[in-house]
C-alpha cells in the first residue's frame, strides 16, 4: 500500500504546481520528510521550514508518482473509486463518493418516476437512486422523514390524504443527509418540502434547517404526549440548542405555536410511538 495518503498528495501537489521553495515544517511534512528524506530543514528564528530546490521538487514529484500512481502535476484524480482505480494504486484517495448524489426514496400510493420510467414498489420497500434521475416534475411535494424506521414504515402512519402523491425521502445523517440537502437545493419552484421529524427540540432544529421547507408533518394535539415524554432526552437536546424557541420566531405562527408547546411542556417523543399508536398527523405551515 502507498505510504502517502490523500492529504499528503495534496501537500505535494501544492509544492509542485506552485513551485514553492519552502513550506512550514509541521507534523504532516515531517512525516513525509522522515519517510522520503527529500528537501532540507532550515530554521528561521523560531520557525522551521522544509526547503526545496528544483531538483528536490522533481524528486518529490517522482516519489509521489511512484508511491501512489498519482502525478502531483495533475493533482488528485477526479471521480469515484471506480474511476480512480485505473490511475491510482489506492482507489480510496478518490475525491468523490458514489453516495453523494444518492438518496433513499419511496412513495405513498403512487409509483416512483425514475428517468421516465414508473417503478412500483412493494410495501416497506424503497429505492436508493441518484437524485438527478428522479423525474421530479411528476411530484408536487417532497416529504423528508427523519428516522429510518419511520421512513420504511411510512405507509403505516395515520396520514393526511394530501400526502398521497408525495415523493418520500429518508433524511438520515452524514453522507445521506448531505445528499438530501443537495437534492432539496435543486428542486424547482412550486414543489412543497415537508419535514416529518421527531416532536422534540432536535426535531424542531431539523425542520428549521431544512432547505426550502414549506411545511411540517406534526401530531394533532401534541399536548397529549406530556406524560409520555422522554424528559432526559428533552433536557439533553435543549442544552445543545438553547435558542431553539427564539429561532422559531423567524417562521410561521403555526410553527411558532408548535415549537412553543414542545419547549413549554418539555416534550420529546419519537416517530415510532406516533406510528405504533396511529396518532393522527397534520400539516402545518413553516
**pLDDT 10s digits, 194-253:** 999 999 999 999 999 999 999 999 999 888 887 778 888 989 999 999 999 999 999 999
Residue 89 has pLDDT above 80, yes or no: yes
Q: What is the mean pLDDT of residues 263-269?
A: 92
What is each CA distance from 216 to 194, 261, 264, in whole angstroms?
Answer: 5, 15, 19
- Count other Cβ atoms within 10 Å, centred on residue 82: 10
**pLDDT 10s digits, 134-180:** 999 889 999 999 999 999 999 899 988 888 789 999 998 888 999 99
Instruction: Decide: 131 and 178 in contact? Cβ < 8 Å.
Output: no
| CA torsion angle 237 240 241 242 (round to 10) | 100
Q: What are phi and psi of 5, to 5 degrees?
A: -100, -175
Cell of 3: 505510504
Full-model pTM: 0.78
Kindly state the DSSP code that residue 122 receives in the 8-state scheme: -
Amino acid at each position: 500500500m502507498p505510504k502517502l495518503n490523500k492529504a499528503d498528495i495534496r501537500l505535494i501537489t501544492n509544492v509542485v504546481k506552485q513551485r514553492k521553495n519552502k513550506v512550514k515544517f509541521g507534523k504532516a511534512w515531517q512525516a513525509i520528510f522522515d519517510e522520503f528524506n527529500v528537501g532540507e530543514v532550515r530554521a528561521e528564528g523560531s520557525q522551521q521550514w522544509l526547503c526545496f530546490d528544483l531538483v528536490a521538487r522533481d524528486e518529490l514529484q517522482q516519489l509521489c508518482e511512484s508511491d501512489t500512481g498519482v502525478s502531483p502535476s495533475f493533482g488528485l484524480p477526479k471521480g469515484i473509486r471506480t474511476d480512480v482505480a485505473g490511475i491510482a494504486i489506492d482507489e480510496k484517495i478518490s475525491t468523490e463518493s458514489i453516495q453523494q448524489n444518492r438518496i433513499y426514496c419511496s412513495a405513498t400510493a403512487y409509483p416512483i418516476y425514475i428517468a421516465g420510467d414508473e417503478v412500483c414498489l412493494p410495501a416497506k420497500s424503497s429505492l436508493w437512486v441518484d437524485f438527478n434521475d428522479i423525474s421530479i416534475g411528476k411530484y408536487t411535494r417532497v416529504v423528508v422523514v427523519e428516522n429510518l424506521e419511520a421512513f420504511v414504515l411510512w405507509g403505516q402512519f395515520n396520514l393526511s390524504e394530501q400526502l398521497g402523491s408525495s415523493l418520500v425521502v429518508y433524511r438520515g445523517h452524514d453522507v445521506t443527509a448531505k445528499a438530501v440537502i443537495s437534492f432539496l437545493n435543486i428542486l424547482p419552484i412550486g414543489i412543497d418540502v415537508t419535514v416529518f421529524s421527531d416532536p422534540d427540540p432536535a426535531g424542531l432544529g431539523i425542520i428549521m434547517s431544512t432547505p426550502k421547507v414549506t411545511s411540517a408533518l406534526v401530531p394533532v394535539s401534541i399536548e397529549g404526549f406530556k406524560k409520555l415524554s422522554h424528559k432526559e432526552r428533552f433536557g439533553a437536546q435543549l442544552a445543545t440548542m438553547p435558542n431553539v424557541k427564539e429561532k422559531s420566531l423567524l417562521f410561521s405562527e403555526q410553527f411558532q405555536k408548535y415549537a412553543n408547546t414542545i419547549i413549554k411542556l418539555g416534550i420529546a417523543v419519537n416517530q415510532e410511538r406516533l406510528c405504533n399508536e396511529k396518532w393522527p398527523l397534520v400539516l402545518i405551515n413553516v
